[in-house]
Amino acid sequence: MSFFRASFGLGFAPGIESLTDEGLLKRVAGQVPAEQAAAVVATYRRLYPQAKNDEIIYMVQTDRGYFMDAWLQAGRKANQKGAPAFVYSFYRETPVHGGRFHVPHASEIPFVFDTLAREPSMVGPVTPEAQALADNMSTAWANFARNGRPSAPGLPAWPEYDSVKRPTMILNYQSRVEDNPRAEQLGLMTPLGTQQNPDGEAPPAG
């Protein structure tokens, strides 16, 4: 999952780069219960003190609409004790449009399929660092398709996911495995319930 996934949809919104504090609070109130919006904004400001208002709404919407549900789904899959689950977050920021989109939705796909040269509007110039990341990711995905386990010589060992430690591959120029990434954000969003079910519960397994 891309770190700033929601920037793909919000990045071209009029005035998003000059979002005021009032505008940020209003947008956050559209993602979480209105009475909790100020506390959510305060949490993200503390966690990311250098972030601008547009970055904060990208992160809030990503964590609320995608991150929590992705980790919930992965945890339920792991708890079935069947085929292993493997989880990643893609952190490589794209330089296109002056970097205003950070790590938008689907920006990892050209790296997975090693098609960087065909997607300059998404990934920017094909630098040696970018190509090395594409080599690692495309190899890992091919190995996963081949034998059920993602691996590549340029990546650390990719552990199976479990719902307690939540080991996650962070894919970037210097990839790493991190347990329970963005734990505080996950804890903030989880009580709000999944957006995929009107009752706030996860859909039944299977």
The CATH number assigned to the domain holding 16 equals: 3.40.50.1820
Let me know: does 107 contact 194? Beta carbons within 8 Å.
no
Place 14 in a pLDDT band, splitting at 50, 70 and 90. Answer: low
Whether 200 maps to a domain, the answer reads no
Place 105 in a pLDDT band, splitting at 50, 70 and 90. Answer: confident
E-assigned strand segments in 131-194: 167-171, 176-179
**157: how many CB neighbours lie within 10 A of its CB?**
8
Question: CA-CA distance, 67 to 147, in Å (whole number)?
Answer: 27
Q: Which domain holds residue 181?
A: 7-192
CA 204 to chain centre: 24
Which residues, listed in sequence order, are joined to residue 170 by a DSSP beta bridge?
Answer: 89, 176
Whether 197 maps to a domain, the answer reads no
Whether 45 maps to a domain, the answer reads yes
Whether 174 maps to a domain, the answer reads yes
- What pLDDT digit, counting tens, does each position of 56-71 carry? 998 998 898 888 888 8
Record the tokens describing residue 86, joined without a space. Answer: 């493997």
Whether 82 maps to a domain, the answer reads yes
- 3-class DSSP assignment, residue 61: helix
Question: CA-CA distance, 115 to 138, in Å (whole number)?
Answer: 10
Whether 203 maps to a domain, the answer reads no
Domain total for the chain? 1
State how far the alpha carbon of 200 is from the alpha carbons of 190, 203, 206, in Å: 10, 9, 18
